[in-house]
Amino acid sequence: MSSTNADPKSQDPGNNGPLPPHLDPATYPRTVTTTHSGAPIHLSLTYDHLDPTTALSIISSASSGANILFLGTTRDTFEDRPVAQLSYTTYPQLALKSLDKIAKDAVDKHGLNGVYIAHRLGVVPVKEASIIVAVGAGHRGEAWRGAEEILEIVKERLEVWKREEFVDGGKEWRENRERDSSGNLISKSGED
């Protein structure tokens, strides 16, 4: 098949050539499903809508008295500036390796019975989910702590980059690690 007949989503808008595989939506979802210490772990990077029902079905078990689900969604403003949408990109081999370590560490530390982490790529409009973190555990304490820790480490370390696209046409790349869990700017050491 010639590149002129290729899926238009798989074309680089800058030169009309094929996109590199890690940027080509046709090469997704990229998924890893495994177990660690008997706990199912499902990790996904996808351009598709995220499904909370699927996440809960994977982490739910007879031994889990607590199932926690977190959806991170696109807000309509950032610092009083109207947001049109977010756009995410990644280097999937590195991101999936990081997600695997984050999930396994959480299973070990919090005794989780299941972990599901999915991150959306590409354009994510306002009100749509860009990330799902779901965990199952015997009790709510370890489930809450495990889910929150997974989310915070993902925000701090995961090789996924976010571009905020504003209603006025402006665009700004952001690092998730720039802000804490309440959205407050984290000052970097050595800076005023």
Please tell me the predicted confidence (pLDDT) of residue 104: 98
Please tell me the predicted confidence (pLDDT) of residue 192: 45
Binding positions for substrate are: 139-140, 155, 162-164
Please tell me the predicted confidence (pLDDT) of residue 184: 65
Consecutive 10-residue averages of pLDDT for the chain (192 residues): 40 66 90 97 98 97 97 94 95 96 98 98 97 98 98 96 94 74 61 46
Please tell me the predicted confidence (pLDDT) of residue 31: 97
pTM of the model: 0.84
3-state secondary structure the chain: CCHHHCCHHHECCCCCCECCHHHCHHHCCEEEEEEECCEEEEEEEECCCCCHHHHHHHHCCCCCCEEEEEEEECCCEECCEEEEEEEEEECHHHHHHHHHHHHHHHHHHHCCCEEEEEEECEEEECCCEEEEEEEEECCHHHHHHHHHHHHHHHHHHCCEEEEEEECCCCEEEECHHHECCCCCECCCCCCC
Binding positions are: 139-140, 155, 162-164
